[in-house]
């Protein structure tokens, strides 16, 4: 596993990642960005990454409707996703994260069929580019977020993965450890984001390590499931900005690092302990 953070793709943003002592970055080319314009910057982004020794571990596009009210694919949306996959391919990024919105007039199974049709096109396109596809477990323009939908959609698309964030499960009232135990072998990307509840109500998303998530058991399951991808820090709270916000990022980096086994870890092949 390797630690990184969500940030922008400008030279300054990539430099900032490096200055935090991190070597991986995640880009969120969300619905409010023109993916073609970002794709056109691929060479300059790659140059910045090389200059600062930072690799792109994930690219995602959140908040975009991909099918219309009849369940038909929106051509512009499909092109945006393909642009993001092209960008990932050019930058050596292994995974693209997306979702599929629900059509209110359709049944659950009809919506699953619609999502399978859409996501299968991305999977096939990604194969040509050496980029895997994952569905994010956030419900922002996406219904493929939990066990019922995963059982159908991922059941029929064995090459589709999951971008997992414990806070989204918590916010739905779910059991994130149970979800991780069942679906952890399909994780392609993982977010490190804190969340805090008071009196049963969501209060804030403070830095990971200053929150309610049981990070020890989370990492136990990641190791058991042999997850070996990016751990992407997502600063998410407007309450943590300025100096305390930067300190919060530093805190999370220092808090999470001890959970990550060093790549050069060695051991005695005949240890005293069984």
Which pLDDT does position 270 carry in this prediction?
Answer: 74
Backbone angles phi, psi at 54, to 5 degrees: -115, 135
Q: Which two tokens stand for residue 194?
A: 């804190």
Q: Which two tokens stand for residue 217?
A: 């058991």
Percent of the chain residues topping a pLDDT of 70: 99
Q: How far apart are CA 35 and CA 224, in angstroms?
A: 36
Q: Is 132:95 a contact under the CB 8 Å cutoff?
A: yes
pLDDT at position 272, please? 67
What CA–CA distances, in Å, run from 76 to 68, 112, 116, 160?
Answer: 11, 21, 18, 22
Residues of the chain with confidence (pLDDT) below 50: none
Give the pTM. 0.96
CB burial string 41-51: b at 16+ within 10 A, e below: ebeebeebbee
Tell me the three-class secondary structure of 94-121, residue by residue.
CEEEECCCCCCCCCHHHHHHHHHHHHHH
User: Does the 2-259 domain belong in CATH 1.10.287.80?
Assistant: no
Spell out where the chain has E strands: 2-6, 24-28, 55-60, 95-98, 132-136, 161-164, 187-192, 196-198, 201-204, 230-233
Residue 213, pLDDT score:
98
Express each pLDDT in 160-192 by its tens digit.
Answer: 999 999 999 999 999 999 999 999 999 999 999
């Amino acid at each position: 596993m390797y630690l990184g953070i969500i940030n922008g793709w400008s030279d300054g943003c990539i430099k900032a990642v490096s200055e935090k002592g991190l070597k991986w970055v995640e880009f969120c080319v969300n619905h409010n960005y023109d993916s073609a314009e970002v794709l056109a910057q691929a060479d300059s982004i790659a140059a910045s990454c090389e200059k600062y020794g930072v690799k792109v571990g994930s690219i995602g596009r959140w908040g975009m409707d991909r099918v219309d009210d009849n369940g038909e694919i929106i051509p512009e949306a499909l092109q945006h996703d393909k642009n993001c996959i092209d960008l990932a391919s050019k930058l050596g990024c292994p995974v693209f994260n997306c979702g599929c919105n629900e059509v209110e007039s359709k049944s659950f199974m009809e919506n699953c069929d619609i999502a399978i049709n859409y996501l299968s096109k991305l999977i096939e396109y990604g194969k040509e580019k050496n980029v895997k596809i994952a569905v994010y477990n956030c419900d922002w323009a996406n219904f493929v977020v939990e066990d019922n939908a995963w059982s159908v959609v991922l059941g029929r698309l064995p090459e589709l993965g999951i971008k997992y964030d414990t806070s989204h499960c918590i916010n739905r009232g779910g059991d994130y450890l149970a979800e991780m135990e069942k679906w952890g072998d399909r994780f392609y990307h993982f977010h490190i984001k804190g969340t805090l509840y008071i009196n049963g109500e969501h209060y804030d998303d403070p830095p990971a390590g200053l929150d309610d998530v049981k990070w020890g058991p989370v990492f136990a399951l990641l190791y058991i499931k042999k997850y070996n991808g990016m751990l992407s820090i997502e600063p998410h709270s407007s309450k943590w900005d300025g100096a305390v916000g930067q300190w919060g990022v530093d805190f999370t980096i220092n808090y999470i690092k001890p959970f990550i086994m060093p790549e050069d870890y060695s051991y005695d092949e005949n240890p005293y302990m069984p």
